Each structure stands twice: as C-alpha cells, then as structure tokens.
Amino acid sequence: MIDLHYWPTPNGHKITIFLEETGLAYRILPVDIGKGAQFQRSFLAISPNNRMPAIVDRAPSDGGAQVSVFESGAILLYLAEKTGKLLPQDLRGRTRVLEWLFWQVGGLGPMAGQNHHFRNYAVEKIPYAIDRYVNETNRLYGVLDRQLSKCDYVAGDYSIADIAIYPWIVPYEHQGQTLEHFPNVKRWFELVSSRPAVERAYAQAAPYRRERQGFTEDERRILFGQTSQTVGNAV
C-alpha cells in the first residue's frame, strides 16, 4: 500500500496516473495546499520542500523500514524501479526516458508553472513576465513536437516520461498555447488522454476540486507569500 499525499494539480496527477497504470494499491491523503497543509510539521517530515506530491511506501522492495519520497520525478523513478514498469531496463532506453523526465521537471514544469502564475494568478499583470513565460512555454512545446514527430510516445514506448509531461499539457489554454500549432503533440495528447488509467487518475481529483475560480486573500498569502522565515508557521 502506497500512501499518496496529493492535491489535484499537474504534479499530483502524475502520481495517480502511474498508480492507476500499474495497479499498485494506494490511498490518497489530501494535502489542501490552499489551506496550508503543506506546511504542517508532520508533512514537512516527509516533504522538506513543503510541496506535494509525496509518497510513503510501507513495503519497500528491500524489506526494510518504510521509505518516503518527495519530488514528483523522484517518485515516478522510485515507483518505476519498484514495479519494474514504465521505465526500460536497457541502458539506452532508460537514459532516453530519464532525459525527458528531467526535461519535464527542470523545464516544462517550472516554466509552465510561472506562466500560470503571471498569466492567470498574479493580481498585477506584468507584460514582460507574461511574454517571457508564454514564449518559453511555446519554445518547449516546439521541442516536444519535434521529438514526437519521431515516435508515438516521448521516449519510445509509453513511459514515466509521458506520465510526467502529459499533466502539464492538459492546461495548454491557460498557458496561452494552442495544440493546432503542434500537430504531433496534439496526436500524442489525444492518445494519452484516451488511456483508461489516465481517465481513472483524473477521476480521483473529483472530491478535491473546488467550484470557485481564483484565490481568496488567505490562499494568496499561503501559496504566494512564503519566505524561509514563514515556512513552518504559515497556516
């Protein structure tokens, strides 16, 4: 049984997709990031970056004490190694998947995240910041499109690379992008969207979704107002 500390955001969806694809038993422990649950001491003990997702594996493959993992890329890698699924074992196949996994966690995720922030969430609309992140997201979509012109999935067969990237393409309209400009991304996006496990993973989000758009003042302070001094006293 895997404990998944989760909230329905792109980084959270990565892990439910993996778990649904592989059938590993799991339970969701919600981390309401708008209420500051990510700063609770018990959560910081397993996720020192005060971000979700994080997992606790109570039955690790070495038979030892439970293992906790934070950072979505590290979690996907850990679970792929635990199950022997969705990550090739040969040197070249594995390296290719890891390249695109790291491309997502180091590039697409942070850039699209800042794009969401400045384009959609910031009270003050700063044209330079919006252009910078919309353009950089656009460049990254172009990189992905070129890669997907060579293969059905990002790194050969369907893998943790696709699982990491897909949830960051789902909100493409919020990133000021259109898939019509990226035909290979569009084809791949439709292919991944139609996977039953992906549909089941997104269905897990339903109980935690809120109707209201935008953030309250408290949520803005909790999500966008932290410094090194406030973490741990944020709630």
Ligand X SMILES: N[C@@H](CCC(=O)N[C@@H](CS)C(=O)NCC(=O)O)C(=O)O
Of the candidate residues 86, 105, 111, 198, the single one contacting ligand X (CB under 6 A): 105
Q: Specify burial of residue 212 (Cβ count, 10 A radius: 0-12, 13-18, 19+).
A: exposed
Strand partners, 69: 55
Q: Residue from 52, 69, 87, 130 that binds ligand X (CB under 6 A)? A: 52
Q: Of the candidates 112, 214, 84, which has an alpha carbon nearest to the alpha carbon of residue 171? A: 112
Binding string, residues 203-232; x marks residues near ligand X by CB under 6 A: --------------------x---------
**Total residues in contact with ligand X, by rule CB under 6 A:** 14
H helix intervals, the chain: 10-22, 41-44, 72-83, 91-103, 109-116, 127-148, 160-169, 183-193, 196-203, 217-224
Q: What are phi and psi of 25, to 5 degrees?
A: -70, 135
Q: With respect to ligand X, which residue has the nearer C-beta, 102 or 158?
A: 102
Shortest Cβ 183–ligand X spacing (Å)? 28
Shortest distance (Å) from residue 79 CB to ligand X? 13
Q: Is 154 in the site for ligand X (CB under 6 A)?
A: no
Determine the Cα–Cα distance for residues 47 and 66; give it in Å rounded to an integer: 14
Least distance to ligand X, CB of residue 63, Å:
27
When the beta carbons of 187 and 208 are compared against ligand X, the nearer one is 208
Q: Does the footprint of ligand X cover residue 71 (CB under 6 A)?
A: yes
Q: Which positions touch ligand X (CB under 6 A)?
A: 9-11, 33, 38, 51-53, 71-73, 105, 109, 223
